Chains A and B, each alone.
Chain A
């Protein structure tokens, strides 16, 4: 069979090399070439989607297994079920849109080439991580991905970018290295042999209670830093306020999902008993994240920091859904991961467009833009409403699924988290009010309306949120069986 996933991983790498190696004369076309590669990648994704057997969504499909380093039991093993596919789809959708959004940012073609090459490398890692079916391969990608991200944050953006890049790297490295201890241990505690790290070989393996709990913690800390959960979230606002909005959009919308993705595909599947054991504490932290993120968001004056704090709050809801272990809640969390990607990705990009026009991220320096740029204001409002989970837009469905699903087992947690949803209305609407309504701020001068390129970036995302808001089953069908399968593992553990 055609090795879809390997090609999907390698195509952006080829793209990155091409973009960097372009001769001086062809540099002017570098944006088109990079976009071309991501569009080709997305088309390949569409072909894959048509080949995917939805009736068997829980099974890993398009699987490839090649021996890589037999001495330490690692394989180049790729495969996706409906859940992995949804995450890959998210990255395939967002990458070309980010390239389009950052189209005019670099006047200098050589700088643009550097930026685009890094974005393409990043895409390769994103696809690779969501498709990895080998713990070691997952870990390698998880860590190696930091290198392009580090250069994306540190090389492009505001004044504080080097500080932000180092802070990001150190947080991620600490998490990653703690996870490494777990990965090493997995070899010795697990079945061992030349395919010791295949997730399929490790699922359902009895590691022994203490070992399982320790390994779970090693993995979970890494995922919590990535996700980001309070109290290890502080790198995100720092990065968001200084990195380019395009970079942050990819970071928050796709890359941070690796945390929650890992919690489900590795955490629940490999360490079901330990997940149950740790769930009460994790839920407490999740609820703290929901409330703390929302309150902190209300207090922000920098819109980029504000959006990043809303994500801390939303990730809290996803984690709550995962560790409630109910079919509806886990399914809702998985769906939320996709919808949040669309919503927050769009939010970062639209804020980026606004800052591009006026050069300031501070809410207080805007005012009354509704009258001069109505289309911009309307687009901003819809995207903002999606972040506060307005019915009719897709995040609503997932948020309600998590809260309803978890209510049966964690009533207090759900009641407190619901408060976060109320607070969301506050930070979104207050921001909208200050920026777009009221008397126009005289100092702002003339503001450009949303251009064609910018509409091409934002409107598809809005359309997708509307479609999935009214017909959520389109996405849920891909997620139900995979999450049910994971929950079976967890619940089987308990009944024993």
Chain B
């Protein structure tokens, strides 16, 4: 017989706010016809939903009861503890910042999205849509659904719930990745690859979940843990199951060898979507990995750490080395994000408890700098001979001399790059320090040494862009081919993220205190 589950609505209020906002956004699509009005309403709605949910999350954070490991509420499928709240707040911040980027326009009034996603690239329908000034404002509710899915993803404690959340946030992302205004074919190709490989990884994940269910007769993390603890000798199904489930999550994290989608998807997607995808997806994936490893699988440390070590080292090496030879800035940042996935995995070495606060902090610093960097990419535009401003200038060579043209913007980009490289006095350094500390805590010396060498190599390609921006003289014939665009929303995002990067680097004590609070995770369900 079916019994309706008891849901503590209050505990899940942040998610509910966001998903209701998404539903309202769909209604807005149907009822408001003027593109400009619709865009403003959608932006307002998205900001209200994300910031409102963030407010609810903060209130919950402040009122949790300390004797229950930070738990606010739970069902059999989801748990709201401080760890989940920290991740949800982070994803909401990324969502709000990305929404501003979604709404930004070029000086010529051009958005980042195609006016008609269903039209074939270069077709008369597309030209007609351009002429009539259509706009795809569905991206706002789509993003809200993705945010809602991610929020569920980070608090899921059941493999089925985790899978549903995974699909809820992935499907909007596949769609949004295909909507770039320029280079439509590239965008559609990237989105298709993302979708196909994503579907494949979902299948792998489900297979792993099925194996775990076969062994334990349950999909709940608590039952899996109980089974592992009770019968440590019988792991025939558990190990392959756990490995396959982890592979599904590592795909979303962009770890090697499951990273092949990310360069194409990052390059093809509209840059605001890339920013959101890079920051928020990675955060959600890292959060889900943390929870499944620390709640269900931690007794298997000895059996699983070889896999995590191998993948972490491979990821850092491949991400760094391939990034060295990229000539497109979006692809370069895509491979750099792969390398960062490797650094995140370093924290897992030895399953240290420190990782529970180090990983959220790392993702916060990484996500903020990523959104800022992609925001700046939307501002650097190609300029044709007749003075019309074109698409983004993503060839690295086109960034030469940006430091002279717009010192503040180039300075902010330099700051983000230094933060990626982990130079002290930027947020990235503290993040890296925390992650290395988590690994060293459990004797992960060798992997930290590899990480350190990878950091040094990675610094090379970040610094190369800084050299281009500040120290390279612009050839005469290129002087006019690039234009720095301006939109207040984008600039607001750039300044917020730059200020945060500096603040988290110089005075991180407050944020670290929050992160260490978030380290209490409801274990042993």
Contact = CB atoms under 8 A, between A and B. Distances in A.
A146 interface: yes
A70 B418 contact: no
Interface centre among A151, A166, A173 (most CB of B within 10 A): A173
A181 B437 contact: no
Interface string A154-185: 11000001100110011001100110110011
A188 interface: yes
A146 B471 CA distance: 16
A52 interface: no
Interface string A262-279: 000000000000000000
Given A184-B433, A184-B437, A177 B452 contact: yes
B513 A72 contact: no
Interface string B420-439: 00011100011001101100
Interface in A170-218: 170, 173-174, 177-178, 180-181, 184-185, 187-188, 214
Interface stretch (A36-44, A137-145, A449-457, A461-469): A137-145
Interface residues of B, number: 32
Q: At the interface, is chain B mostly helix, strand, loop or mixed?
A: helix
B463 interface: yes
A213 to B, nearest CB: 13
B108 to A, nearest CB: 32
B512 to A, nearest CB: 4
Contacts of A139: 424
B390 interface: no
A71 B513 contact: yes
Given A165-B471, A177-B452, A178-B452, A146 B423 contact: yes
B441 interface: yes
A52 to B, nearest CB: 29
A177 B453 contact: yes
Contact of A71 (B418, B472, B509): B509
B423 A147 contact: yes
A68 interface: yes
B173 to A, nearest CB: 34
A139 B433 CA distance: 12
Contacts of A140: 424-425, 429
Interface in B488-509: 508-509
A162 B467 contact: yes
A72 B512 contact: yes
Nearest to A161: B471
Contacts of B455: 173, 177
B313 interface: no
Contact of B472 (A141, A162, A170): A162
B439 to A, nearest CB: 9
Contacts of B459: 169-170, 173
Contacts of A174: 453, 456
Contact of A173 (B433, B436, B445, B456): B456
Contact of A151 (B449, B456, B470): B470
Interface residues of A, number: 34
B200 interface: no
Interface in A418-432: none
A180 B436 contact: yes
A152 B472 CA distance: 14
A235 B423 CA distance: 20
B451 to A, nearest CB: 9
Given A184-B436, A188-B437, A165 B467 contact: yes
B359 to A, nearest CB: 15
Interface string B436-465: 110011000100110011011001100110
A266 to B, nearest CB: 17
Interface string B467-481: 100111000000000
Interface centre among B437, B453, B464 (most CB of A within 10 A): B437
A69 interface: yes
A69 B513 CA distance: 9
Interface in A115-152: 139-141, 143-144, 146-147, 150-151
Contacts of A147: 418, 423
A68 B471 CA distance: 34
A201 to B, nearest CB: 18
Interface in B126-159: none
A333 to B, nearest CB: 28
Interface string B1-41: 00000000000000000000000000000000000000000
Interface string B199-242: 00000000000000000000000000000000000000000000
Q: State the 5 A-B residue pairs at the shortest beta-carbon distance, nearest first.
A: A140-B424, A177-B452, A71-B512, A143-B424, A144-B424
13 contacts: A69-B512, A72-B430, A140-B424, A143-B423, A143-B429, A162-B467, A162-B471, A166-B463, A166-B467, A174-B456, A181-B436, A184-B433, A185-B445
